[in-house]
Amino acid sequence: MKKFKSTTLLLLAMFCPLFMLAQEAGDETKKKNEFNASMNYQSALHFFGRTDSLRSSGLFPMLGFQLKGGLYAQGNFIFVQNGMQSTAYTGATIEAGYRFPETDHFSGNLFFSRFLYKDESTLVQSAIKSQTGANLSYLNKILNLNGGLNLLFSDKTDVNASFGVDHLFLINKGMNNAAIALAPSFTANLGTQQFSNTYLERKNVLGIPVTQRTTENITQFNILSYEIAMPIVFVKGKCNLAITPSYVMPQNLITTAGRPDLSERGKSMFYLNLSAGIRL
């Protein structure tokens, strides 16, 4: 099954508001056009806990630009490493979108992404050609509420949704133009799953019993995973560093008896995201 997309880029997108909150604590400047770049690493590539058989890790350099009005564009380059190969370029993504003006209680964005994978890519998500969607957060002092809705386009169209909560702890007392942000979170990810079911059916044709093979295509909307994460972000001036320990628990894996090649592979696992970036 190669119709799934890695959560890596989604996690990186989630970091952006966190960086901005921490940045505001140490740099009260007027909104302006911004250039940003970062180097990101994920210790285990997966899509809602679904993985390939090689337990790959990934390195993701990112370049982006955002206009002060909220329009933005960014590109990510994907380098994959596993037991069968050293770190090698396997594709890129291009994203454009609009970030809503931030208020005391709401933040969010609209986006469209195009995926450019090499033909021989072994990534679980390499069948996906593009994606579009929206994210929205309701912010308050007790618990932030987060939601997202995405459409994934390959030879078929899948729908993904996410619902989560987090709480931001901001530490900047006594820190000169610097801040530390922690945001423990819990997220439930849902989406459509498309698969075929083949069975033998016995019918009477002109009074003669006949057994025929019947295949039906099935689409179900299920919970795909639960995920717990603890982003820890340090911001100093225009630079930021982040580490995010995460634990993902895949749900409703599709399996085919006797056909591991047609079954989803995945299990609950711990992994890390590391990031270092700059905003100019």
Q: What is the pTM of this model?
A: 0.79
Vertex 5: Cα angle to 78 and 121 (nearest 5): 50
Give percent of the chain with pLDDT exceeding 70.
75
Q: pLDDT, tens digit, for every residue of 167-202?
A: 989 888 777 888 999 999 999 999 987 655 554 556
| Number of folded domains that form the chain | 1
Rounded Cα distance, 261 and 264, in Å = 8
pLDDT at residue 16 above 50?
A: no
**Confidence (pLDDT) at 73:** 96
- Is 195 inside any structural domain? no
- Is 94 inside any structural domain? yes
pLDDT at residue 23 above 60?
A: no
Which of the listed ranges 138-142, 204-208, 218-222 does the model predict with the highest average pLDDT?
138-142
pLDDT at residue 44 above 50?
A: yes
- Is 206 inside any structural domain? no
- Is 200 inside any structural domain? no
Phi/psi at 53 (nearest 5 deg)? -85, -5
**Confidence (pLDDT) at 52:** 75
Coil, strand, or helix at residue 142? coil
Strand partners, 142: none
Burial of 34 (0-12, 13-18, 19+ CB in 10 A): middle
- Is 203 inside any structural domain? no
- Is 213 inside any structural domain? no
**Confidence (pLDDT) at 14:** 39
**124 or 160, higher pLDDT:** 160
**Confidence (pLDDT) at 33:** 92
Average the pLDDT over 25-34 and give the result. 63
**Confidence (pLDDT) at 116:** 87
pLDDT at residue 122 above 90?
A: no
C-beta of residue 271 within 8 angstroms of C-beta of residue 58: no
pLDDT at residue 66 above 60?
A: yes
Q: Please state, rounded to an integer, the average pLDDT across all residues of the chain.
A: 80
- Looking at residue 53, which CATH number applies to its domain? 2.40.160.40
pLDDT at residue 15 above 50?
A: no
Q: pLDDT, tens digit, for every residue of 233-265?
A: 999 888 999 999 999 999 988 776 666 666 678
The two tokens of residue 147 are: 């939601």
- Is 61 inside any structural domain? yes
Rounded Cα distance, 94 and 39, in Å = 16
What range does the domain containing 251 cover? 8-188+223-279
Rounded Cα distance, 90 and 58, in Å = 10
**Confidence (pLDDT) at 17:** 44
Which is it for strands 169-171 and 71-82: parallel, antiparallel or unpaired? unpaired
**Confidence (pLDDT) at 213:** 62
- Is 98 inside any structural domain? yes
